[in-house]
Structure 1
Amino acid sequence: MVSAILTMMIDCFATSFYKRSHFSKSLPVVNYRNEEMSGGHEGHVHVHTHATHGSAFVAEDSAQSDLFRHRVVSQVLELGIVVHSVIIGISLGASQSAKTIKPLVAALTFHQFFEGMGLGGCISQAKFKSRAIVVMVLFFSFTTPAGIGIGIGISRVYNENSSTALIMEGILNSASAGILIYMALVDLIAADFMNPRMQSKFKLQIGANFALLLGSGCMSLLAIWA
Structure 2
Amino acid sequence: MSSSSSSRALALVSLALLVVSPFLAHAQTPAADDVCAGLATDDACHNVPKALRLKLIGIPTILVASVIGVCLPLFAKSVPALQPDRNLFYVVKAFASGVILSTGYMHVLPDSFNNLNSPCLPETPWRQFPFTTFVAMLAAVFTLMVDSLMLTFYNRKKKGHDAGAPVPTTSSSSAAVANLESPEPEAHWHSHGHGTALGRPGDTEAGQMQLRRNRVVVQVLEMGIVVHSVVIGLGMGASQSVCTIRPLVAAMCFHQMFEGMGLGGCILQAEYGTKMKAGLVFFFSTTTPFGIALGLALTKVYKDNSPTALIVVGILNAASAGLLHYMALVELLAADFMGPKLQSSVRLQLICLTAVLLGAGGMSVMAKWA
Which TM-score applies when normalising by structure 2?
0.53
Please point out which of 12, 17, 21 is paired with 2:157.
21
Deviations 1:57-103 (A, max 9, x none): 22221111111111111111111111111111101101101111100
The structure whose RCO (Cα within 8 Å, separation 6+) is larger is: 2
Partner residue, 1:101:
245
Q: Distance in 2 between matches of 1:111 and 1:122?
A: 17
| Matched residue, 2:123 | none
Q: CA deviation at 1:190?
A: 1.0
Q: In structure 2, the residue corresponding to 1:18 is in which secondary structure?
A: helix
What residue in structure 1 maps to residue 192 of structure 2?
A: none
Tell me if 1:117 matches 2:261. yes
Cα-to-partner distance string for 1:13-38 (whole Å, 9 max, x where unaligned): 0001101110122148989xx9xxxx
- Equivalent position of 1:52 in the other structure: none
Larger helix percent: 1
Q: Distance in 1 between matches of 2:153 and 2:358?
A: 37
Residue 139 in structure 1 maps to residue 139 in structure 2: no
1:64 aligns to what SS in structure 2? helix
Please give the alpha-carbon distance, in whole angstroms, between the structure 2 residues aligned to 1:207 and 1:130.
Answer: 32
Residue 183 of structure 1: CA displacement?
0.9
Cα distance between partner residues in 2 of 1:120 and 1:205: 21
For 1:196 and 1:18, locate their aligned partners in 2 and report how far apart those are by CA, in whole Å: 24
Mapped to 1, the partners of 2:264 and 2:340 lie a distance apart of 24
Partners of 1:60 and 1:196 in 2: how far apart?
17
Aligned to 1:6: 142
Q: Distance in 2 between matches of 1:222 and 1:87?
A: 18
Residue 194 of structure 1 corresponds to: 338
Query: What TM-score does the superposition give when structure 1 sets the normalisation length?
Result: 0.85
2:294 maps to 150
State the 4+ residue runs in structure 1 displaced beyond 3 angstroms: 27-31, 45-49
- Unaligned stretches of 5+ in structure 1? 35-41, 50-54
Considering only aligned residues, what root-mean-square deviation do their CA atoms show, in Å?
A: 2.3
Identity value in percent: 52
- Give the number of equivalent residue pairs: 211
Q: Secondary structure at the match of 1:224?
A: coil
Q: How do 1:67-82 residues align onto structure 2 when only pairs under 5 Å count? A: 67-82=211-226
Instruction: Tell me, in whole angstroms, the C-alpha distance in 2 between the residues paired with 1:191 and 1:56.
Output: 24
Deviation of residue 202 (structure 1)? 2.6
Change (3 A) 1:62 1:200: closer
Structure 2 alignment gaps of length 5 or more: 1-136, 182-198
SS in 1 for 2:367: helix
| Residues 13 and 99 (structure 1), Cα distance of their counterparts in 2 relative to 1, 3 Å cut | same
